[in-house]
Amino acid sequence: MKVTSEQRVAELALQVGRAAYGESSAAGLTPAQWMALRFFGRANRFSRTVSAFAGFHATTRGTASQTVKSLVQRGYLTRTRSVRDGRSTTFNLTEKARRQLAADPFEAVVRAAQHLSPAQRDRTASGLRGILQQLAVERDRPAPALCNLCGHLAVNGSSGYVCRLMSEPLTATEIEQLCIHCTRCRAA
């Protein structure tokens, strides 16, 4: 059976993903719990919800809810009622979670990526982002990305940045965070 270049790319992406989880249970966390900790650590304030995590992790809201609930019970996440609408709940990392993330097995993959040249890392990231965006289109789901790639981002001369979707100001730190609402991404 001849393997196409598209199949090789997909297979390699899956192998890298699996390699990231090879040692994940050593700390007593499942791969889904590690993913949740990473997500809530990198997500912007509009995306720290169960629904946003479910979309990012490509799972159901029920499964995502169980993962988040377990992390709250174990003291890794705190639950806060949303200030914006009073109905939804947002989640934030605790100090315990930040300490746990310092020993994240995913960092082995990050260290391996350091062996690529900056140009190779940029091309790889761009290619994988393109694959994720195409999957999002095919599945009619948002494609989470960094705020600085989002078409909703506007530069406001006096105060920095504004999210036009949420009508909220953003800090320079926030535009480097993940946003589940990034549906109209600019080229990177």
Query: Which tens digit of pLDDT belongs to each residue from 95-151?
Result: 999 999 988 888 888 898 999 999 999 999 888 888 887 887 887 776 777 777 777
Residue 125 near residue 109 (C-beta atoms within 8 A)? no
Q: CA 161 from chain center: how many Å? A: 21
Q: What is the mean pLDDT of the chain?
A: 84
**Is 20 inside a domain boundary?**
yes
What is the reported pLDDT for 130? 84
**Is 137 inside a domain boundary?**
no
Q: Which amino acid is it at 41?
A: G
CB neighbours (10 Å) of residue 143?
Answer: 21
- Look at residues 11, 12, 6 and name the one whose alpha carbon lies nearest to residue 112: 12
What is the reported pLDDT for 131? 86
**Is 155 inside a domain boundary?**
no
What is the reported pLDDT for 119? 95
- Look at residues 156, 164, 170 and name the one whose alpha carbon lies nearest to residue 184: 164
Counting the structural domains of the chain, the total is 1
Q: Which of 70-79, 83-92, 115-124, 136-145 has the lowest mean pLDDT?
A: 136-145
Give the domain range for residue 63. Answer: 5-115
Q: How far is CA 20 from CA 54, 109, 134, in A?
A: 19, 6, 23
**Is 134 inside a domain boundary?**
no
What is the reported pLDDT for 121? 92
pLDDT digits (tens, 9 = 90+) for 163-188: 877 878 888 888 788 787 776 554 44
- Higher pLDDT, residue 3 or 142: 3
- Look at residues 108, 103, 100, 102 and name the one whose alpha carbon lies nearest to residue 16: 108
Local confidence band at 158 (pLDDT 50, 70, 90 cut-offs): low
Q: How many residues appear in the chain?
A: 188
CATH of the domain at 42: 1.10.10.10
